[in-house]
Every structure is written in structure tokens, then in C-alpha cells.
Amino acid sequence: MQKTQLIKRLLAVSVAAAMFGSVGAQAQTANSTQMGASATSATASGTAKLAAADRKAIMDMGMSNMAEVEMGKMAQSKSQNADVKAFAQKMVDDHGKALTEVQTLAQSKGVTLPTELDAKHKAMAAKLEKANGDAFDKAYTKQGGVAAHKETLAKLQKASKAAKDADVKGQVDKMIPVVQEHLKHAEQVASGKMGSTGSSGAAGHTGASH
């Protein structure tokens, strides 16, 4: 009789322990799910807090850097002018590095950058693709060099004033002096006034520091 009661008690304890363990596991799973949802919510909230001007600044930097890299590569293969090829290589190097930085920034802010050129830059690239020789050099230095960098500089200066996010403003302000030097370099190449102490050296120094 005592053995039977002892067995019943042991069974009761085992059942209670099993039930407690199951409830504990369910509670743990629920807590994990809740924590995951909270983390996702926090990330979404952080992304939502990014101002429209900051988001636009990131998108603009991504597009301009990508366009300069693409046009620079094209100039490297099509141009026969040493100054133009040197400028093009500078664009590939500096804007390629800047693009990587912008991609990292975009990822941290939850912004998805375009993976291909927009209609405007595609049209510019198509126009350059059809040109050859001196015609190509002139078109590239004026459009991809002078005009594009003037436009980019204006956007960056505007973005610097409007930026709300410190990281976005930091990246914008980091690009401004590089683009300014690129613009001076492009103007000299376009005018055929490249010298041994031309702005390519200054641009190179500026680019290396960023």
C-alpha cells in the first residue's frame, strides 16, 4: 500500500515537472519572439525617423558616385588623351571609394540605393558611348567632368545645410572638398590647360585624405 502511494506521488511530481517545463519553454519562446519584434520595431522606427532630406542626400550621393565610376571606366577604355585618361582614373578611384562609404551609410540607415543609373545618367552614358576621339574627350570632360560635378556640388552644399542626421551630414561634408577639387581638375582638362602642377595633384591629395 505504501509502495503504491509512493509511486503515485512520484508520478504526480513527474507530471508537474513536465508541465512546468513546458510552460517555461513556452514563456521563453514568447519572450524571444517579443524581443525580436521589439528589435525589428526599433530598427523600423530608426529608419522612419530619417528625414526626407537626409534620405534624398544619401540617394543623390549614391547615384552621382555610381555615374562617375561608370563614365570614368568608359573614358579609360575610349579616350586616347593622357590627361583625360588620368582624370577618368581619378574619378573611378575617388568616387568608387565614396560609393562604398555611401553604401555602408545607406545600409545603416535602412535606405536602399539604386543598383543602376537613372534615366538621366543612362542618356548621358549612351551619348558618350556613341562619341569617339576628340569628340568623346570634349563630351566627357564637359558633361561627366564639369557639368556633373557642378550639379553634384550644388546638391551637396544644399544637403549639408538641410541635413538633420549627423552621419549623413558627415558624409556630405566629407565629399564636398573632393568634388570641388574634381571640378577644378575637370575645368583644366576641358580647357586643355593641364600643367605639371595642375589640380590633379591637389585632387589626388584631397581624395587620399577621404
- Same domain for 78 and 132, yes or no, is yes
- Same domain for 84 and 35, yes or no, is no
Number of domains in the chain: 2
Query: Lowest-pLDDT range, 17-21, 40-44, 173-177, 193-197?
Result: 40-44
Cα–Cα nearest to 55, from 142, 97, 128, 114: 114
CA 205 to CA 197: how far, in whole Å?
A: 13
- Same domain for 31 and 76, yes or no, is no
Q: Which percentage of the chain shows pLDDT scores above 70?
A: 69
- Same domain for 72 and 168, yes or no, is yes
- Same domain for 68 and 168, yes or no, is yes
CATH number of 201's domain: 1.20.1260.10
Residue type at 130? K
In angstroms, how far is CA 202 from the centroid of its own chain?
Answer: 25
Beta carbons of 138 and 168 less than 8 angstroms apart:
no
- Same domain for 28 and 69, yes or no, is no
pLDDT at position 192: 85
Domain limit, last residue, from 49, 66, 88 = 49
More confident site: 143 or 197: 143
pLDDT digits (tens, 9 = 90+) for 113-131: 999 999 999 999 999 999 9
Q: Which percentage of the chain shows pLDDT scores above 90?
A: 67
pLDDT at position 204: 35
- Same domain for 165 and 204, yes or no, is yes
| Entry pTM | 0.70
- Same domain for 138 and 193, yes or no, is yes
- Same domain for 89 and 168, yes or no, is yes
- Same domain for 59 and 44, yes or no, is no
Domain limit, last residue, from 9, 25, 49 = 49
More confident site: 26 or 84: 84
> What mean pLDDT is reported for the chain?
81
Structural domain range at position 16: 1-49
- Same domain for 57 and 34, yes or no, is no
pLDDT of residue 188 exceeding 90:
yes
- Same domain for 78 and 136, yes or no, is yes
